[in-house]
Amino acid sequence: MSFPRNLIFVAVWVASITTVVSPYITLAQDLKRPPREPVDVAESTQGVVVSDTKAASEIGSSLLAKGGNAVDAAIGVAFALEVTWPEAGNIGGGGFMLVAPPDEEVMCINYREKAPANVDPHSFSEWTQHRHIRMAGVPGTVRGMALAHEKYGKLPWAEIIAPSIALARDGIEVDAYLAYSLNSVLTLGYIQSEPRFAEFRRVYGKPDGSLWKAGDRLVQPDLAKSLSLIAEQGSQVFYEGEIAQQIAKESEAGGGLMALKDLKQYTAQVRPAMHAKIGDYTLYGAPLPSSGGTVVLMQMQMLQALDFPKDTQQYWTTKQVHLMTEVMRRAFRERAAWLGDSDFVSVPDHLQSKAFAEKLAATIDPNQATPSEAIAGSIALSEGPAESMETTHFSVIDKDGMAVSNTYTLEGTFGCRIVVKGTGILLNNEMGDFNWYPGTTNRDGDIGTLPNQLAPGKRMLSSQSPMIVREDGQVKLIVGSPGGRTIINTVTEILVQTLMLGRSLEDAIDGPRFHHQWFPDTIRFETVDEGVFDNIRPELKAMGHDAEDRTVWRQGSAHGIVVNLDTGEAKGVADWRRGGAARAPVSVTSP
């Protein structure tokens, strides 16, 4: 008797799950998320650090206590998150660091990944695997941190990295969030079965093969060795030395695009931050290749041009969500039309202007949704699908008012999930941020426009939106978030809640969020909305918004700092969504 082929397949699959990976009978979807906690708050006149983990915020605040400035602390936090929040904290990815030294111009360190030399616009047109070393862009974090240190740092480089080496070597206490995050990936069938993830399983799997629990220890000896090399030899060991060789070897063996010469040629840049005036505030954001600064500032300038209702009786009103959705729709359309790496494409200056924001705002109907198709303009919309699609933000201020707003990422949770053998270093899968399908922009949200198509050495467009706000030349607010394209809207919503509606930073970070990105033409609400969106959804529907589908559990994880300019006291607020922590060198308080 012969079995049907699909039954044999199922039998082999069940056998492989139960024999190869028996400790992981739990499936990723059965894991329980840690319960919701209040936002974490720390206040001080001696500086504050807010990040996704307690250990990283504590390392940052101890560097401040040692006399380091905000940039020293930020570099320390970046290396500490690599050890303590590996789903997004990284040295194998890239990002953007805004630095506001007192009385000086706000600058951005651009350490976004670059495409390797071996690409053309169609390199990914037929590609489907997002967890593959081919997805890795040339990492920028180590060069970015070295550049920030060279330009602004006070403490010795090795001293800043030392606490992270100790954490990796001696082990960290796994908390509920890290346990959830690790288990979510380790229980995936392909991670358990495919040989290319063996190093991931070895490095991040619990030695006895069981699921991680809060209180367990994760020891990362290979990473401790890599961090020691970086501390002793500087960034060049990562780009030209021993670590570079190991990355290039891994890439070649795994079918990746990155070669040793791509690493050798990688450069980070320092550029002035973008800025716009909103009322009494000057808002600073990251320039291209992040779309974050351009789009957040465009949205805020549009809202300023509108008669935006200042009603605070409920957290979001129908009218506020309507107007903000219309603003998001229009700004994301401009993003798709124009934005890419400005070292490769010329981007029109008018996108930053108040006049252009006013012109766009004037097209908004106060009572009716505009269908996204109606504003496509010169972007031809295709039928059918193109592609299917973690990041972490931290904010730092020191006792002298120097501020850092840093967002960096591996793109997906744990990036491409390839750990370079023997190094403990995870690589990003940032190549997915390029427009993979030239000419194909569709209603699902895939973008195929020219500015963000692949080219050798080009940086992929980002949505990372680290922000710094000054009032009368002094730092008032620092904020940013992870969340892919939702980052832009998370940050805009926090700016609206604090600067326009006068809410506390605690309330603005705690409160429910929503997202619209032109296409798909629907508002996505957080499901943890405490009824706020349920109440206004029928009215939004009546205005023509598709506002019911595609709810998400959470949107981002925003860590911010607000300064009382009268007393000089800074208050750090860490988002509850991923269990973040605010820490200060002295006088820590919790709500």
Q: Between 82 and 430, whose beta carbon lies closer to ligand DON?
A: 430
Binding site residues, ligand DON, CB under 6 A: 390-391, 409, 411, 430, 433, 462-464, 482-484, 487
CB of 240 to ligand DON, least distance (A): 26
Residue closer to ligand DON, measured from CB, 49 or 431:
431
Q: What does the DSSP 8-state code read for residue 39?
A: P
- Of 344 and 356, nearer to ligand DON (C-beta) is 344
| Of 135 and 224, CB closest to ligand DON | 135
Q: What's the alpha-carbon Rg for the chain, to the nearest Å?
A: 23
CA distances from 196 to 200, 244, 543 (A): 8, 19, 50
Instruction: State the sign of the Cα–Cα–Cα–Cα dihedral 545, 510, 333, 299.
Output: positive
- Closest separation between CB of residue 291 and ligand DON, Å? 8
Provide the token pair at 201: 């399983």
CB of 509 to ligand DON, least distance (A): 16
Nearest approach in angstroms of CB 156 to ligand DON is 31
CB atoms within 10 A of CB 211: 18
- Smallest separation, CB 409 to ligand DON (Å): 5
Nearer Cβ to ligand DON (47/482):
482
Burial, 309: exposed, middle or buried (Cβ in 10 Å; 0-12, 13-18, 19+)?
Answer: middle
Give me the residue whose beta carbon is nearest to ligand DON.
391
Question: Residue 430 gets which letter from DSSP?
Answer: G
Q: Among residues 294, 391, 423, 522, which one is catalytic?
A: 391
Question: What HEC string does 266-310 produce?
Answer: CCCEEEECEEEEECCEEEEECCCCECHHHHHHHHHHHHHHCCCCC
CB atoms within 10 A of CB 379: 16
Q: For residues 116 and 441, is the Cβ–Cβ distance under 8 A? A: no
Distance set, CA 548 to CA 522, 537, 539 (Å)? 8, 7, 12
Cβ 90 to ligand DON, closest distance in Å? 11
Of 370, 371, 374, 368, the closest CA to residue 540 belongs to: 368
Q: How far is the CB of 242 from ligand DON (least distance, A)?
A: 28
Long-range residue pairs from 187-190, CB within 8 A, at least 24 positions apart, any chain: 187/24, 187/26, 187/27, 187/28, 187/31, 187/211, 188/28, 189/13, 189/17, 190/131
In contact, 538 and 472? CB cutoff 8 Å: no
18 catalytic per annotation: no
SS (H, E, C) 123-144: CCCCCCCCCCHHHCCECCHHHH
| Nearer Cβ to ligand DON (24/519) | 519
Measured from the CB atom, is 89 or 482 closer to ligand DON?
A: 482
Catalytic residues: 391
